[in-house]
Amino acid sequence: MYDLILISPINTQLGRFKRFVPRSVPIGVGILAGFLRKQGFSVKIIDHELIDININTIKDILEQCKKPCIVGISVMTANVASGYKTAAIIKSVDKEAIVIFGGIHPTVMPDEILQNGNIDFIVKGEAEYTFLELIRQIKGGSIERDKLENIGFVEDGKIVYTKTSTKMVDVNEVPMFPYDMYDPSHYNLGFILTSRGCPFDCIFCSQRVITKRSYRYISSERVIEELDYLINDLKQPNITFFDDYFTGNKKRVFELCEMIQKKGFHKKACFGVQTRGDSINKELMKAMRAANFNSLMFGVETASENLMKVINKAETVQENIDAIKLAKEMGFATEATFIFGFPTETFDDRFKALSLANEIGIDRARFNNATPYPGTAMYEMVKDKIKKEPMWINFSSAGAVTSGIRKKYPLPYVPDECSEKELEGTILLANLLFYLNFTNLKKLFNPGQSGSGKWFEVSKKEMLSIGTLIDLSLLAGTVLIRSLNYLLSSKNCRRFFFRGIRQ
């Protein structure tokens, strides 16, 4: 019997791409589960991506939980609809079960969550300390409001919030990620998280809602201990650092590179990280290559220096170009993300982004739609122009790419300078045009690829199976039909495509 259950809701917005997108380990609930386990609580993790959530499965899950049964659900805006449905099923099975929502969406939209009727508590911000105290009080049989921080609940029909705490979690008090709680046959466990937060404040990033601009990192000794476990116990040959800002402290990176080599890890595994163009140089790259870091991902976002200022990226396009070119010279595989649909963006801005991706030799690229998630500066900037479907079901940064032939939902935001069809079409066509290059296409289908930008995965064994070939054919057909539709119905989509073909 478990003391509590932690659930990670499903992302329902991937469409036919779902079969080929690498399954993400639910890291948030994992970190919390490991922390609670260290405090003496037994925790069961439920990943909705693996388990169909219905009345029967919820009955089975709740039967494994000690009374009072506590169920924590970690939600972002993109999957809050799934979270609401899960909460409703839980309450239909056991009205006495205590449902707690945490994560980004409850932090920025707490009233909305508590008005739902199926959620008993919400936890705002980083949850380790506050959720722990709440669990202790619930298990103890009484709620002492004065001892709770960053908690919301409904009392006598009114929404109540406890005092606010700005204390940030000491990441060195959080134990190593509980890899043992995940079945390696379902997940790629080749990842590590060695820092938390980011000192920058890009208008589209909702992560700062949780971590603020506080950048903290785990001690180098702890990182080496975890890498030892991943490499020597779990035999992981490719390890991705999931840090938002791995190169935020160059001295620490140099130290880690030296320690990795002393341990001989560089002979057994390769490593990939996410970085910024203004935060990495030749000296640092040289040290990283010596330690067998072989993949760098850059959030390039745009090819427009003006848009860089609009999105408050605090770096320049040229800094990204210089860093990527240098990384290629140093032997790194390079990956980049681009975002279309920022305020004031033009057709030429979007085409320049595609041209840049091709010109500087990026190995893997992804083009997404700008999404004004609540809690971001972009949300406040364009609030009056947002199209919001019930339960935020249309809020997905990949929605322009993954929607089906019969589009169900509108994009949440479209800049004044273009139509929704043009924006959605140029995003899909940018991804298509980039991978029409045979060299780029081979890298997309490479099952051995590593790095943060990996977004398409199928093993060599599965690649030749009948089921995979059918799914790939259906996916290709969907993309082709959608592309033809945009080309036939939008003049600017035709301009974008034929200019891209001529490059």
What integer pLDDT is reported at residue 377 of this predicted model? 96
CA 386 to chain centre: 22
Report if residue 7 sits inside a domain: yes
- Angle, in degrees to the nearest 10, between helices 491-502 and 347-359: 20
Last residue in a domain, options 161, 180, 199: 161
What integer pLDDT is reported at residue 437 of this predicted model? 80
What integer pLDDT is reported at residue 474 of this predicted model? 81
The whole-number average pLDDT for the span 250-268 is: 97
Residue whose C-alpha is closest to residue 351's, from 389, 302, 312, 392: 302
Report if residue 475 sits inside a domain: yes
Q: What confidence tier does 455 reach under pLDDT thresholds 50, 70, 90?
A: low
446 pLDDT more than 70: no
135 and 210 share a domain? no
Last residue in a domain, options 126, 161, 196: 161
Domain coverage including residue 333: 188-502
The string of DSSP letters for 208-234 reads HHHHTT--EE--HHHHHHHHHIIIIIS
3-class secondary structure per residue, 394-406: CCCCCHHHHCCCC
153-211 pLDDT tens trace = 999 999 999 999 888 899 999 999 999 999 999 999 999 999 999 999 999 999 888 88
140 and 232 share a domain? no
Task: Give the global pTM.
Answer: 0.93
CA 388 to chain centre: 21
The whole-number average pLDDT for the span 33-61 is: 96
Among 12-26, 87-101, 175-189, name the one with the lowest average pLDDT.
12-26
Report if residue 169 sits inside a domain: no
Report if residue 59 sits inside a domain: yes
89 pLDDT more than 90: yes
Count of domains observed in the chain: 2
155 and 222 share a domain? no
376 and 241 share a domain? yes
133-142 pLDDT tens trace = 999 999 999 8
What integer pLDDT is reported at residue 462 of this predicted model? 66
265 and 336 share a domain? yes
408 and 484 share a domain? yes
13 pLDDT more than 80: no
Give the CATH number of the domain where residue 465 resides: 3.80.30.20
440 pLDDT more than 90: no
148 and 209 share a domain? no
121 and 231 share a domain? no
341-382 pLDDT tens trace = 999 999 999 999 999 999 999 999 999 999 999 999 999 999
Give the CATH number of the domain where residue 62 resides: 3.40.50.280
Report if residue 454 sits inside a domain: yes
Report if residue 266 sits inside a domain: yes
476 and 327 share a domain? yes
374-424 pLDDT tens trace = 999 999 999 999 999 999 999 999 999 988 888 789 999 999 989 999 999
21 pLDDT more than 90: no
Q: Which residues contact 378 (CB under 8 A, 6 or more apart)?
A: 203, 204, 311, 342, 343, 370, 372, 413
**Contact status, residue 127 vs residue 165, Cβ threshold 8 Å:** no
Q: What confidence tier does 454 reach under pLDDT thresholds 50, 70, 90?
A: low
What integer pLDDT is reported at residue 445 of this predicted model? 62
143 and 250 share a domain? no
447 pLDDT more than 60: no
Q: What confidence tier does 457 reach under pLDDT thresholds 50, 70, 90?
A: low
The whole-number average pLDDT for the span 214-242 is: 96
391 and 488 share a domain? yes
206 and 71 share a domain? no
Report if residue 448 sits inside a domain: yes
Among 16-30, 82-96, 180-194, 320-334, name the one with the lowest average pLDDT.
16-30
According to DSSP, residue 330 is labeled T
Residue whose C-alpha is closest to residue 268's, from 292, 247, 240, 286: 292
451 pLDDT more than 70: no
**Contact status, residue 450 vs residue 295, Cβ threshold 8 Å:** yes
Q: How far apart are CA 493 and CA 148, in angstroms?
A: 54
Q: What confidence tier does 469 reach under pLDDT thresholds 50, 70, 90?
A: confident
The whole-number average pLDDT for the span 43-72 is: 96
499 pLDDT more than 80: yes
Q: What confidence tier does 461 reach under pLDDT thresholds 50, 70, 90?
A: low
Cα torsion angle, 471, 472, 475, 481, sign: negative
Report if residue 70 sits inside a domain: yes
Q: What confidence tier does 22 reach under pLDDT thresholds 50, 70, 90?
A: confident
